[in-house]
Amino acid sequence: MSYGEKIDIIDIDYTWSLKNYIRAFDGVYIVTIFKSIMISAITTIVCLLIAIPVAFYISFSSIRMKSILLVSIMLPLWTNLLIRTYSLIAIIRTKGHINSSLEYLWESTNNLLNFFNLANYEIMGESFIPLNLMHNNYSIILGLFYIYVPFMIIPIYLVLEKFDRNLLEASYDLGANHIKTFFKVIIPNISPGITSGIILVFIPCLGSFIIPDLLGGADSQMIGNIIERQFKSANDWPFGSALSFILIYITLVIISVRHVYSKLYSKLHLRGNL
Amino acid sequence: MSDKKFCIELKNLTKRFENTLAVDDVSFNVEENEFFTILGPSGCGKSTILRLIAGLEVQDQGEIIINGIDCSKMPANERPVNMVFQSYALFPHLNIKDNIEFGLKIKKIDEIEIKKRVDEILDLIKMRSYINKYPSELSGGQRQRVALARAIVNKPKIVLLDEPLSALDANLRIDMQRELVNIQRNLEMTFMLVTHDQDEALSISSKIAIMENGKVIEANTATNMYEYPSKKFSAEFLGRINIIDGYISNNDNQKIFKSEIFGDINLQNDIDIPQDAVLGIRPEKIIIERSSKNLENRIKTKGTVIDWTYYGDMSYITIELNNKKKIYIHVQNIHRNTLQELKIGKTLRASFDINDLIILEK
């Protein structure tokens, strides 16, 4: 269908044209694709930075604590994506929980200043200005992070569980400090988990459209939103499918890179019983 | 101060894990170039001592002095010791060469020196052709050698070996025991090994310490530990022994051990014997008598064979005496036709030398 042309409101002519693909590499679309990749990449990095310590903490806790923590990570996954996103909106919107807490703090401080007859100096500003936490790229990253971080924590946690703790002791024993041990022993050994986590977070981020729709601002649409619009409001299915295919190609490239990498990895290290 | 230089001095070392006392006020010294073995049943705290020396556990009390330097509070990565782990703990993501170099690279030793040392070690462990392989591609014995190489390449003051041979099969284990001894002698390094295998301890160590319930029961050279143990536990743990129960009576300046099995045994007067002592005799010190003539200084007995275990070169037999007591005898199967005598139900005469008796404190 992506090679077809739209000739009517509902009719599509399969002309084997590459027009849709050429259009996809045109100005605004390529920028959006690039922006989507950037947002997804940043989200993935943030997830990674948070997930590694969290996964470590879980895997080094007691068995009882482990199950509690794992359930608390997976619990949000049982709720609908929309509900989770709306709950996030409730927290970060202009009159949300964060801003009302800050406002409360502002008022209490101001009252305190009043008490000391310092109110006239307006140290705290004339009035409380709520933080603009929503409708920008950061809110999208926050939303994506919130939704997808479990998919990063769980694969890393799983490889950490299989990780031989004796290797840590061997590393200290051979003179490495904690930082060297982390980079020279832990990271290389948990890299399969990290790559799986990256794939599991990056790919859904790339195709997401609900979160940028709900949390994003006017200029923060992602490629998922454009595709959605082609199929719905713009009613241009051929172009929508061309964009979808481009997304699929990007995804395939990433997966094949991972596949080659993991094949190389298992060939080198994981043969035999370790 | 003694003239001997101690490689390791442990002073009142104590370590508690929750409710169990793993190491209970342990003090002993290890001399330089010694092959020191800690022998004990599993869970006696022997591995914990090793881990305390390596710095992988922190002691609750006591001091660890390595080569004259107090290392009690030094972190593991700064201590001049290296450990060979029971599971080998080779880095799966590094090849053999990188595994061996790991410690040297961390210490930022220059490339030429690293290459020289690694070359030496690879010749020593005969693994030169494997340098580009990964640990998962090696057999158990080869991994074991790499683990040893990774430790000794750093030239530590002491090499700690935590049951290094327990995962190997019997034949390979004996080969590796010889190899360990040879490496230790060639390099003139101090080795400290932990094992629960009595034969291994006897065959490789120059000194053995026997542990039970977190305490060191006794420490001595390997031969003395077997031939002259002073504690009942160590005599029973290292090899087999016939314990002769009884009590000591002092009659007319003659110390007599009144035993249940063999009657009165005259002991030398000049030795100090604790009141609750028992006697012991090793099974191989008892020989089967074929003639009934009286022998000087020998205790004779007679009994019926009730159990016979045949090991090819040796026969382990149990005989029951008239008073229903049992004694173990290890007989070397020198002649084929004498095997008949050992059959279950046969009556045997046996004897042993009084000088081979061991006095054991309970």
Cβ neighbours of A162 (radius 10 Å): 12
Contacts with A262 from chain B: Cβ below 8 Å: none
**SS3 letters for B160-195?**
EEECCCCCCCHHHHHHHHHHHHHHHHHHCCEEEEEE
Cα B243 versus chain centre, distance:
21
Contacts with A170 from chain B: Cβ below 8 Å: 83, 85, 89-91, 150
Q: Which tokens is B80 given? A: 């001049």
Contact A166 B154 (CB under 8 A): no
Q: How confident is the model at residue B319 (pLDDT cuts 50, 70, 90)?
A: very high
Residue B56: closest CA among chain A residues belongs to which residue?
Answer: A169
A-B C-beta contacts closer than 8 Å: 79
CATH topology for B243-360 is: OB fold (Dihydrolipoamide Acetyltransferase, E2P) (2.40.50)
**Per-domain boundaries in chain A:** 5-77+135-268
Rounded CA-CA distance B5/A162 in Å is: 44
What is the model's pLDDT at position B210?
Answer: 93
Contact A273 B136 (CB under 8 A): yes
Continuous H helices in chain A? 19-24, 27-59, 63-74, 81-92, 97-115, 137-162, 166-173, 178-181, 187-207, 210-215, 223-231, 237-268
Contacts with A188 from chain B: Cβ below 8 Å: 93-94
Residue-wise pLDDT tens digits, A95-149: 888 888 888 888 888 888 888 776 666 666 667 778 777 778 888 889 899 989 9
Contacts with B85 from chain A: Cβ below 8 Å: 166, 169-170
Contact A271 B136 (CB under 8 A): yes
Q: What is the mean pLDDT of residues B81-102?
A: 91
CA atoms within 13 A on the CB side of A255: 9
Residue-wise pLDDT tens digits, B118-146: 998 898 888 888 888 899 889 888 998 89
Contacts with B106 from chain A: Cβ below 8 Å: 174-176, 180, 184
What is the model's pLDDT at position A269?
Answer: 56
Q: Does B93 touch chain A (CB under 8 A)?
A: yes
CATH 2.60.40.10 fits A5-77+135-268, yes or no: no
Backbone φ and ψ for A85, nearest 5 degrees, come out as -70, -40
Residue-wise pLDDT tens digits, B27-72: 999 998 899 999 998 888 889 999 999 999 999 999 999 988 888 8
Residue B55: closest CA among chain A residues belongs to which residue?
Answer: A173
CATH 2.40.50.140 domain locations along chain B? 243-360
Residue-wise pLDDT tens digits, B185-243: 888 899 999 999 888 899 999 999 999 988 999 999 999 999 999 999 999 999 899 99
Q: How confident is the model at residue B325 (pLDDT cuts 50, 70, 90)?
A: confident
Q: Does B58 touch chain A (CB under 8 A)?
A: no
Rounded CA-CA distance B73/B230 in Å is: 35
Shortest CA gap A40–chain B (Å): 29
> Which of B53, B87, B106 to mutate: most A Cβ within 10 Å?
B106
Residue B91 has pLDDT above 70, yes or no: yes
What's the one-letter identity of residue A272? Answer: G
What is the model's pLDDT at position B337?
Answer: 85
What is the model's pLDDT at position B1?
Answer: 44
DSSP letter string over B281-339? E-GGG-EEESS----TTEEEEEEEEEEEEE-SSEEEEEEEETTS-EEEEEEE---GGGG
What is the model's pLDDT at position A271?
Answer: 46
List the single residue in B55, B87, B103 with the smallest CB-CB distance to A174: B103
List the single residue in B93, B136, B154 with the smallest CB-CB distance to A174: B154
Q: Give exposure, B314-323, as e/b (b: 16+ Cβ within 10 Å).
A: ebbbbbebee
Q: What is the mean pLDDT of residues B340-362?
A: 88
Q: Are strands B298-310 and B314-321 parallel, antiparallel or unpaired?
A: antiparallel
What is the model's pLDDT at position B4?
Answer: 63
Contacts with A185 from chain B: Cβ below 8 Å: 91, 93
List the single residue in B75, B102, B137 with the smallest CB-CB distance to A174: B102
CATH 3.40.50.300 domain locations along chain B? 6-229
Q: Does B82 touch chain A (CB under 8 A)?
A: yes
Residue-wise pLDDT tens digits, B287-296: 888 877 767 7
Q: Which tokens is B356 given? A: 């081979």
What is the model's pLDDT at position A207?
Answer: 84
CATH topology for B6-229 is: Rossmann fold (3.40.50)
What proportion of chain A, given as a percentage, has pLDDT over 90? 19
One digit per residue, the tens of pLDDT, for chain A of length 274 reads: 667 776 666 677 777 777 788 887 777 888 888 888 889 999 999 999 999 999 999 998 888 999 999 999 888 888 888 888 888 888 888 888 888 888 888 888 888 888 877 666 666 666 777 877 777 888 888 989 998 999 999 999 999 998 888 899 999 999 889 899 998 899 888 888 898 899 899 988 988 888 888 887 777 788 888 888 888 887 788 888 888 888 888 889 888 887 887 777 666 655 443 3
